[in-house]
Amino acid sequence: MFPFGCRSSLPPRLPRPVPPFPGETTASYVFRLAVANELHPEDLRTHMAGRREHGPVNLDALAAAAGRPRYALAWALPELRPGAGRALSGYVRRTVCWRCAARRGSFPYAAVWQPAEICVCLPHRVWLGSAAHPRLRWQYDIGRLPEIIQAQGKHSRLARRCGRRAAITAIGEASRITALWARHGFYRDRRVPLIRELRGKVPITGKLPSFDDVMAAVTYPETVDLARVLAMPRWRSPAEAAAGDLQQFEREVRARTGIDYTAAVPLVPEAPRSLLPDGHGECAGPGIRQLASSLARQTPRSKSQLSEAPQVRASLVPHL
């Protein structure tokens, strides 16, 4: 297009403007702008850069080509803000809510950056996905599932109260536990109505395979409730694990999650990696490791209890 070098001026405005979604990724916006103007995305990049090289998108050139104010484009496209990298800490990349896209008549697979604690498009009651289950990205209409809407509110409050990074850690730990509960069919009372609503039927065994697309959504309410316990300073960094701590921990989990715990199945059948005494997790909390290690020595369980759930590894009681 410009065989003798770079263009010294800004590119001309394209005939069809395209408004960006808030938080849209630069690649997604360039793709949609190109398609709307019947260009190949690579040709649009060449149009903006003035040369056929694959380099970063220049904010001034994109603003000129899109016909939008520079500050407005930088506000909408976070990757173009000064100092931003390709991955935004504490944010996750998601497909935009399909109802938001339909309302604009937009390409339905636009990608946006959203805070990790946002799993739902509240105006449209659409489940967008969880950062804790990045491979399960199916969107669902959750208009008849107020539990998930309420869990979204609790999740946002958790992130505000203890910080986004701490919330990501606690949700990640809790989601591994609740996914394990779902795979084994434990504590299913809260999940069954959600599974029935999203899938139309419930597996006869009550167990969900880990790759089931509804896994993230149907475990979300109990994940958030459990994460609120795991994020408590008392369980993240106890000064000293004391006798009765495990019972207190279990009481708090029961109170927060509403799970009808029975002693035949450990409340935490398999602790997240950061809870393990030898602490292999990337978010290992020394306090919880110490607590888990100490609690393990304090919590004898009978062989009959274990035999009722032989497939379950009781990580909080690893000596068993």
Q: Is residue 97 a contact residue for Zn ion (CB under 5 A)?
A: yes
Q: Produce one character per residue of 244-279: b if its CB has 16 or more CB atoms within 10 Å, e if not.
A: ebbeebbebbeebbebeeeeebbbbbbbbbbbbbeb
CA distances from 262 to 129, 140, 223 (A): 31, 32, 19
Stretches 6-14, 118-126, 194-202, 279-287: which one binds Zn ion (CB under 5 A)? 118-126
DSSP, residue by residue, 98-135: HHHHHHHT--TT-EEEEETT--EETTTTEE---TTSTT
CB of 77 to Zn ion, least distance (A): 19
Between 106 and 299, CB nearer to Zn ion: 106
Stretch that binds Zn ion, among 78-86, 120-128, 150-158, 302-310 (CB under 5 A): 120-128
Establish if 7 lies at the interface with Zn ion (CB under 5 A).
no
Stretch that binds Zn ion, among 82-90, 98-106, 133-141, 256-264 (CB under 5 A): 98-106
| Pick from 299, 294, 291, 289: nearest CA to 320 | 299
- Smallest gap, in angstroms, from Cβ of residue 110 to Zn ion? 12
H or E segment and range at residue 266 = none
- Two tokens, residue 203: 């597996």
Is 218 a binding residue for Zn ion by CB under 5 A? The answer is: no
Rg value, the chain, Cα = 24
- β 126-127/140-141 pair status: antiparallel
Q: Where are the beta strands (DSSP E) in the chain?
A: 91-95, 111-115, 120-121, 126-127, 140-141
Determine the Cα–Cα distance for residues 66 and 13; give it in Å rounded to an integer.
Answer: 6
Site size with Zn ion, rule: CB under 5 A: 5
Specify the residue, 124 or 301, whose C-beta has the smaller distance to Zn ion: 124
Contact call for residue 124 and Zn ion (CB under 5 A): yes
157 in contact with Zn ion (CB under 5 A): no
Maximum Cα–Cα distance across the chain: 81
Cβ neighbours for 270, distance < 8 A, ≥ 6 positions apart: 176, 177, 180, 312, 313, 314, 315
Smallest gap from Cβ 121 to Zn ion, in A, equals 3
Stretch of 27-35, 55-63, 106-114, 122-130 lying at the interface with Zn ion (CB under 5 A): 122-130
308: Cβ contacts below 8 Å, ≥ 6 apart: 264, 265
Applying CB under 5 A, which part among 124-132, 216-224, 231-239, 298-306 lies near Zn ion? 124-132
Of the residues 7, 99, 164, 199, which one makes contact with Zn ion according to CB under 5 A: 99
Q: How far is the CB of 248 from Zn ion (least distance, A)?
A: 41
Q: Closest distance between Zn ion and the C-beta of residue 125, in Å?
A: 8
Angle at the Cα of 286 from the Cα atoms of 265 and 289, rounded to 5 degrees? 20
Judged by CB under 5 A, the residue of 18, 34, 110, 121 near Zn ion is: 121
Kindly tell me which of 120 and 291 has the beta carbon lying closer to Zn ion: 120
> CB-wise, 124 or 234, nearer to Zn ion?
124
- Applying CB under 5 A, which part among 95-103, 137-145, 226-234, 311-319 lies near Zn ion? 95-103
Q: Closest CB to Zn ion belongs to which residue?
A: 97
CB 167 to Zn ion: min, Å = 22
Q: Please report, as ranges, the residues that interact with Zn ion according to CB under 5 A.
A: 97, 99-100, 121, 124
